[in-house]
Amino acid sequence: DIQMTQSPSSVSASVGDRVTITCRASQGISSWLAWYQQKPGKAPKSLIYAASSLQSGVPSRFSGSGSGTDFTLTISSLQPEDFATYYCQQTNSFPMTFGQGTRLEMK
């Protein structure tokens, strides 16, 4: 199975900050990586697919990059509604696996 490791596990930031979350795969997954946002008590929301493609309706302050084993999710200017937990997921092969999550907290 492909292991997905996110870093950091948690991060504190302020509105307006630029934040980057990293996801590393235990083996190459080409560009088959997705990112999700989840708020407490809610279902996950899809943000990015194929490493860098934005889902419809997702603000352009979110961006993704990377290929192979190393990927990043960047929020260019944090908004109050962005404080949440973020997960990466490899979609290259089954079993599809998620990272452990990164909790983005308000400083």
Partner 1 sequence: EVQLVESGGGLVQPGGSLRLSCAAAGFTFSTIAMSWVRQAPGKGLEWVSAIGGSGVSIYYADSVKGRFTISRDNSKNTLYLQMNSLRAEDTAVYYCAKAGGSSHYNGFDSWGQGTMVTVSS
Contact residues toward partner 1 (CB under 8 A) are 1, 32, 34, 36, 38, 43-46, 49-50, 53, 55-56, 87, 89, 91-92, 94-101
Min dist. Cβ of residue 7 to partner 1 (A) = 14
CB of 7 or CB of 77, closer to partner 1: 7
Min dist. Cβ of residue 30 to partner 1 (A) = 9
DSSP for 23-68 reads EEESS--TT-EEEEEE-TTS--EEEEETTTEEPTT--TTEEEEEET
Min dist. Cβ of residue 14 to partner 1 (A) = 25
Say whether 97 sits in a helix, a strand or coil: strand
| Residues 6 or more apart whose Cβ sits within 8 Å of residue 39 | 84, 85
